[in-house]
Structure 1
Amino acid sequence: MNGAEELNKYSKTLTQEVSNPAAQAMLYAIGLKEEDMSKPQIGIASTGYEGNPCNIHLNGLSVHVKKGIQANDMVGLIFHTIGVSDGMTNGNDGMSYSLPSRDIIADSIENVVSAQWYDGLITVVGCDKNMPGAVMAMARINRPSIMVYGGTVRSGSYKGKKLDIVSAFEAYGKKINNAISDEDYKGVIQNSIPGQGACGGMYTANTMASSLEALGITLPDTASYPATHEGKIAECVAIGAAMKNLLEKNIKPRDIITRKSIENALTIVMALGGSTNAVLHYLAIAHAADVPLTYKDIQEISDRTPLIADFKPSGKYYMEEVLSIGGLPAIMKYLMKKGLIHGDCLTISGKTVAENLANVPDLDFETQDMVHPLENPLKPSGHIQILYGNLAERGGVAKITGKEGLRFEGPAKVCDKEEEMLEAIAKGEIKEGQVIVIRYEGPKGGPGMPEMLKPTSAVMGAGLGDKVALITDGRFSGGTHGFVVGHIAPEAYEGGNIALVKDGDIISIDAESKEITVHVSNEELAERRKNWKPLTPPFIEKGVLRKYFKTVSAADEGCVTDK
């Protein structure tokens, strides 16, 4: 058996077996030659589509990936899967389809690679749900796989001020508060995003790209290059040699996705001030890879990892600027030298994390303040805190950078669904000191666990960002900042106590004791429960949301659909 035949152990089912002549005929029909039939076949899954800047360029990058595959004596075959723009669906009913798209992406990639007998998989991804969906599929299939990130967008500019997608959301809050002119409102919208690439702060896309590089499932430095940087195309071409190496060494995703590598990924999330969505996604990735992971584990990582990077949304820097300090590898090397990153984890380069970082320049704390030394962190522990109490018996996920304070107490302002909250803030009914409760936005109640970026941005734009807290059984965008707690479980639809809260109930949120409490007696809650009926979720009579509603697990289980 020659080397090429050894690398095509899956595709040879179609290309070599005498009993599959129709498959071979179809492969000749798409342009393969006889010599190609003994080469490994690599599926290249693109989430490219024209509908948003995060994904618009991905089909083009896939072509460069294919060139690299072909140059290394393999057959590259591009296929496509879906994407949903979180930025465009936030604050409207389209957001119910966002989180379900993650599992559709995973399912569809698994479906194609398994049915077509591809020997390896490369995913070209760019937005929030593309990345975890792609990696979930890799873990399930467990054939040599590499993720390619399309890159961050550059920052926009208007009247001398840097802008990004969150600037547009927060302009809405300013508008309803009469704090921005119509001209400037339109100017911010038209200039927030200059072109292709994923949302530019340490929002969910860049959080996942950075942490997945730390996980080891991308080439080193893939998270650092902006979408328009010339290094991105070179990276795509280099994927071919990397894939050939994986096939030759038979390195598979589950060799890379381990408990220690997931700890590396979550350490990066905490150190960089990343999105709370990473909690959902790593629970789902761990489930796909059969790696045990719980809220308790995530909290332990947060407790030992200081927040050291000053990125948007609560900081001042954009992802496009990380290259100037040596890229993500420089940050990883610093954390590894300090004992917070496991250097012995295998990566898709075929080398360990430590080997990848061996020649990376050290961070210079004299010439930059984007990343702080551990001795002078922005916060001595991670910003993501798992809270428990009678409002979240199975946990809630808080994003507390320290700038908001560590404790908040106030009367509840209860809103059934996001739209009710937005109407309340437009009417001036949201007041300083309140704890805004947005419920029936969970995995089932939403359905689809919508993000609450529009409400939190409206709060910020209205000048209430440091004057109110917001809790929800929905989730938050990576662009959210302020005193917020999401992922409340059990959710309202399933009878969690968040469903029983009334206007005026006193709620306390304590990030130090990790407690979230509604100060109502158990007897009173039991009495309220007697008259409680769940608010029926919309849009679930049939179709994809009906399937999701029927199969999705709770937030503390990662909202997976294959339990």
Structure 2
Amino acid sequence: MPQPIAANEPVIIDEKANPYRDCIQGLANQPITVVRLLRDAVNENPVLAKKLAFTLPEIRDVVGRLVENRPRVAIIAGAPDHPAHLLDRPHALMAALRIWEQGGVPFLFHVPVICDGTAQNNIGQSYSLASRNTTATAVNITFEGHSYHAAYVIAGCDKSPSAVVAGLAAADRARAHRGDQAPVWAVFAPAHVLKGGEIPEGTRRLLEKVARDADGAGHDDLGGDIRENMRYILQCTSDEAFAGLLERARLLGLIDGAMERRILDELAAATCDSKGGICAFNGTGNSSRTMLAAFGLTPPALELLTDVPPYDAVASGVDTLFSVFNRPEYAIGNLLKANFANFVRVHNATGSSSNMLLHLPFMMRHAGFDITIDDYQAVRIETPVPEIFAHSLTENRDTYVLAQQMAEGQNRGMESIYRVLADLGVAMDLDAPTILGKSWAERIADLDYPVDLSLGDKSVIRATPVRQRSGVDVITGSFFENCAVKTSGMSDHLLSHFNDHVFIVRYYENEHVCNADFAAPDLVDRLMNTEGVTPELIRAIVTRNGGDVTPDMAVRDMLAQGHLSFAFVIGGQGPQAYGMPEMFSPSQNLRHHRILEASSMLITDGRYSGVTKGACIGHMVPEAFAGGGIGHLRNGDILRLDLTLLTLDWLECDAFLHGQEITGNPTHMPDRKDLFEQRHQRMLTRQLDIAACNVMEHVSDAGRGIVPETVDRRAVHSWR
């Protein structure tokens, strides 16, 4: 059992300001919250409290500590309507006990956490990214308003970890300007990993029958897609794919609506473990876990949990905080600055979420650093890294397994990742500090074997690279400034096949119409009836992409071979237009539609889920609402993607048909003015779907993290 700091050696925060000493109202108001928190901690942990010989304080004990300026530590937890936060309460109460044991003063507050799965493919997605900004503000308001010194954060899923980091970092920057307060210290304890579900045996038999019936009806592509998705662990993401596949089956007459509903309900009921947690796929939730650890903000004992942490692990996290008090070099802003480049390298090496290209500049700009995705790309180019995560949802190598391997001592989590990258010659900043009060070099000095070699192919972390190309790339083009593509989400075949490849645009103003096309039995006819698509254009596209057009070749075969290619463009989804929802549903439907996956890509000014696979380009800047080129595209336009040069260009159609590839920008074409103005009016009308208080006006673009104007303007400090 960890031992508390001796009572005669209390930590006193070194600062001029102490509002609890200098203003009687806070001293009168807050002690009752501390006593109640500790009383709940004792009542709900009677065995632990007895073991610790814990004595409940009285009001005057709290008053004394506040006046002395003992560490005021905010425990920040999430809302229990998100599965990741179901076990936050016992965790938070243990942290409160340890903070008091160590001579500090614990407080507890909660932040809302929007589940991107729950908000998926509905209006909730227009509130999801906005929640990141408002949560950052709420954290900052509470932390500054109640004058806390430090935070013990039970970090959850999706955008909330980045939001909490940003809110605390903003407080750290403001305190540095004021000069009379200590900086902000923080320890992060990511929520435990959710164990993936299994398809019930009866449901599996029903799915197998649908697949057989699809084969028998001449739709073996659908049968194969269903069987492929059955290989995945059962998560909300695989459920989304099943929803698209079963809709295709219903529209083909293979099942009726009642059977479709039955299977979906049975899948939903079997998906989530009752303990909750962060889903086991390597999406934004686990990418955020990786991010916190890579920034040096997470003690190893709290990095990869599969349940409520034991008291010793919680105590180690609290003790870590107490060990760095009055040491400004370990404040959150300094850790962000020192480890920024390290995180970029780790993010790429682990094949993490493309959403982090939004959240990284968001956090850093809140911390006052002038960082955009150009800085991300600069680090990526300066120090290319291989992919060392063999993460798989079909081969028993998900994040839950990674956590089990760490618990068994078969890896050391982030320390193993730093060691592997350093051993591979990647120029990691090993002198960068971490919240443990040690540099990375000190933390990995004794780590001769970063992963247990006996694991072999079972290991999630690999000492030998999985492949050389990894991560997320930033793309530029003739009709926009930048966008993001998750290279790690594309197979080697797709990376090769779509390199220097041309596509025909099919344009949508929302994802629901796109999804309807993907599910339609007459999809091929719809594509051929796209405005601007002519036999001449089809012949030119197929020939340019390396295929042959013969008189008897079916269009379906041209698609299946990947030579007739479409760019499904979903515009008007940007932050100002519609809150930047995830286009996960169409991305899953593309990924699990073998004909489309072989031939086509998605493009949007919205974003994608962190677990997205396939050729999906997002975060396009400027967004359509702001007059960006994506809002001026139309059906039948031609785009050229080059994954070597990292460019996506609009080509003049007439020149292309005559064998020339002349790049241009449709925003410069007079005939597109009316088209855009009509779309913009529809965007304004659609924006009324969102409550006025959550429309994201006066924010920076995606390349600058979508931060409020004032945050963007104050981000002037260099991170180098």
Q: Normalising by the residue count of structure 2, what TM-score does the alignment of the two structures yield?
A: 0.72
Instruction: Give the Å deviation of 1:65.
Output: 1.7
Correspondence 1:284-363 to 2 at 5 A = 284-303=362-381, 304-312=384-392, 317-323=397-403, 324=405, 325-328=410-413, 329-340=415-426, 341-360=428-447, 361-363=449-451
Instruction: Give the Å deviation of 1:153.
Output: 0.8
Q: Distance in 1 between matches of 2:143 and 2:189?
A: 17
Corresponding residue for 2:300?
Answer: 220
For structure 1, which segment, 33-42 or 507-516, has the greater mean C-alpha deviation from structure 2 after superposition?
Answer: 33-42
Q: Distance in 1 between matches of 2:666 and 2:336?
A: 46
8 A contact 1:225–1:232 mirrored in 2: no
How has the CA–CA distance of structure 1 residues 425 and 102 changed in structure 2, closer, same or farther, with 3 Å as cutoff?
A: same
Corresponding residue for 2:214?
Answer: none
8 A contact 2:162–2:288 mirrored in 1: yes
| TM-superposition CA deviations, 1:36-94 (whole Å, max 9, x none) | 332321111212x2322122222332212212211211110001221111111010011
How has the CA–CA distance of structure 1 residues 25 and 317 changed in structure 2, closer, same or farther, with 3 Å as cutoff?
A: same
SS of equivalent to 1:199: coil
Given residue 460 of structure 1, which amino acid in structure 2 is its aligned partner? Answer: R
Q: Distance in 2 between matches of 1:382 and 1:119?
A: 39
Corresponding residue for 2:475?
Answer: 387
Corresponding residue for 1:470?
Answer: 602
Instruction: Give the Å deviation of 1:257.
Output: 1.1
Match of 1:413 among 492, 496, 506: 506
SS of equivalent to 2:75: strand
How has the CA–CA distance of structure 1 residues 97 and 524 changed in structure 2, closer, same or farther, with 3 Å as cutoff?
A: closer
8 A contact 2:143–2:168 mirrored in 1: no
Match of 2:197 among 156, 165, 176: 156
Given residue 350 of structure 1, which amino acid in structure 2 is its aligned partner? Answer: G
Corresponding residue for 1:436?
Answer: 568
8 A contact 2:130–2:694 mirrored in 1: no
Question: What is the RMSD of the two structures over their aligned residues, measured on CA atoms?
Answer: 2.6
Corresponding residue for 2:248?
Answer: 177
Given residue 622 of structure 2, which amino acid in structure 1 is its aligned partner? Answer: P
1:74 equivalent to 2:104? Answer yes
Given residue 154 of structure 1, which amino acid in structure 2 is its aligned partner? Answer: K
Match of 2:671 among 528, 531, 538: 528
How has the CA–CA distance of structure 1 residues 542 and 203 changed in structure 2, closer, same or farther, with 3 Å as cutoff?
A: closer
8 A contact 1:10–1:119 mirrored in 2: no
Bigger radius of gyration among the two: 2
Correspondence 1:134-153 to 2 at 5 A = 134-142=164-172, 143-153=184-194
8 A contact 1:43–1:79 mirrored in 2: yes
8 A contact 2:629–2:666 mirrored in 1: no
Q: Distance in 2 between matches of 1:550 and 1:278?
A: 21
8 A contact 2:350–2:471 mirrored in 1: no
1:44 equivalent to 2:70? Answer no
Match of 2:313 among 235, 244, 249: 235
Corresponding residue for 2:26?
Answer: 23
SS of equivalent to 2:641: strand
1:33 equivalent to 2:60? Answer yes
Identity, % of aligned pairs? 20
| TM-superposition CA deviations, 1:344-375 (whole Å, max 9, x none) | 1111111111222234442245633345757x
Corresponding residue for 1:556?
Answer: 703
8 A contact 1:8–1:40 mirrored in 2: no
For structure 1, which segment, 171-180 or 476-485, has the greater mean C-alpha deviation from structure 2 after superposition?
Answer: 171-180
Instruction: Give the Å deviation of 1:460.
Output: 2.7
Q: Distance in 2 between matches of 1:543 and 1:231?
A: 39
8 A contact 1:136–1:288 mirrored in 2: yes
Match of 1:509 among 626, 641, 652: 641
Q: Distance in 2 between matches of 1:429 and 1:291?
A: 51
For structure 1, which segment, 31-40 or 96-105, has the greater mean C-alpha deviation from structure 2 after superposition?
Answer: 31-40
For structure 1, which segment, 204-213 or 321-330, has the greater mean C-alpha deviation from structure 2 after superposition?
Answer: 321-330
Given residue 292 of structure 2, which amino acid in structure 1 is its aligned partner? Answer: L
| TM-superposition CA deviations, 1:375-417 (whole Å, max 9, x none) | x6333132311111124x2101001234132424321111101
Corresponding residue for 2:353?
Answer: 275
Given residue 490 of structure 1, which amino acid in structure 2 is its aligned partner? Answer: P
Match of 2:331 among 248, 252, 257: 252
Instruction: Give the Å deviation of 1:136.
Output: 0.6
What is the total number of aligned residue pairs between the two structures? 552
8 A contact 1:173–1:462 mirrored in 2: no
Structure 2, unaligned runs of 5 or more: 1-7, 36-58, 173-183, 202-230, 525-558, 560-564, 653-662, 713-720
1:367 equivalent to 2:452? Answer no
1:455 equivalent to 2:595? Answer no
Given residue 186 of structure 1, which amino acid in structure 2 is its aligned partner? Answer: D
How has the CA–CA distance of structure 1 residues 291 and 544 changed in structure 2, closer, same or farther, with 3 Å as cutoff?
A: farther
Structure 1, unaligned runs of 5 or more: none
Corresponding residue for 2:515?
Answer: 422
How has the CA–CA distance of structure 1 residues 529 and 245 changed in structure 2, closer, same or farther, with 3 Å as cutoff?
A: same
SS of equivalent to 1:350: coil
| TM-superposition CA deviations, 1:241-293 (whole Å, max 9, x none) | 111112143431122111x4111112111111100001111111111223333
SS of equivalent to 2:237: helix
Instruction: Give the Å deviation of 1:313.
Output: 6.6
SS of equivalent to 1:517: strand
Instruction: Give the Å deviation of 1:466.
Output: 3.3
Instruction: Give the Å deviation of 1:312.
Output: 4.2
For structure 1, which segment, 166-175 or 351-360, has the greater mean C-alpha deviation from structure 2 after superposition?
Answer: 351-360
How has the CA–CA distance of structure 1 residues 332 and 225 changed in structure 2, closer, same or farther, with 3 Å as cutoff?
A: farther
Instruction: Give the Å deviation of 1:10.
Output: 7.5
Q: Distance in 1 between matches of 2:376 and 2:517?
A: 35
Corresponding residue for 1:188?
Answer: 267
Q: Distance in 2 between matches of 1:437 and 1:315?
A: 33
8 A contact 1:164–1:192 mirrored in 2: yes
Given residue 527 of structure 1, which amino acid in structure 2 is its aligned partner? Answer: P
8 A contact 1:58–1:126 mirrored in 2: no
| TM-superposition CA deviations, 1:15-47 (whole Å, max 9, x none) | x22xx2222222344443243332321111212
Corresponding residue for 1:13?
Answer: 19
SS of equivalent to 1:197: coil
How has the CA–CA distance of structure 1 residues 175 and 426 changed in structure 2, closer, same or farther, with 3 Å as cutoff?
A: same
8 A contact 2:348–2:470 mirrored in 1: yes
Given residue 420 of structure 1, which amino acid in structure 2 is its aligned partner? Answer: V
8 A contact 2:13–2:325 mirrored in 1: yes
Q: Distance in 2 between matches of 1:153 and 1:524?
A: 46
Q: Distance in 2 between matches of 1:465 and 1:61?
A: 43
8 A contact 1:276–1:476 mirrored in 2: yes
For structure 1, which segment, 393-402 or 474-483, has the greater mean C-alpha deviation from structure 2 after superposition?
Answer: 393-402
Given residue 61 of structure 1, which amino acid in structure 2 is its aligned partner? Answer: H
| TM-superposition CA deviations, 1:490-536 (whole Å, max 9, x none) | 11111111111111212222221101122236486522332121132
How has the CA–CA distance of structure 1 residues 313 and 475 changed in structure 2, closer, same or farther, with 3 Å as cutoff?
A: farther
8 A contact 1:11–1:40 mirrored in 2: no
Instruction: Give the Å deviation of 1:221.
Output: 5.2
How has the CA–CA distance of structure 1 residues 545 and 145 changed in structure 2, closer, same or farther, with 3 Å as cutoff?
A: farther
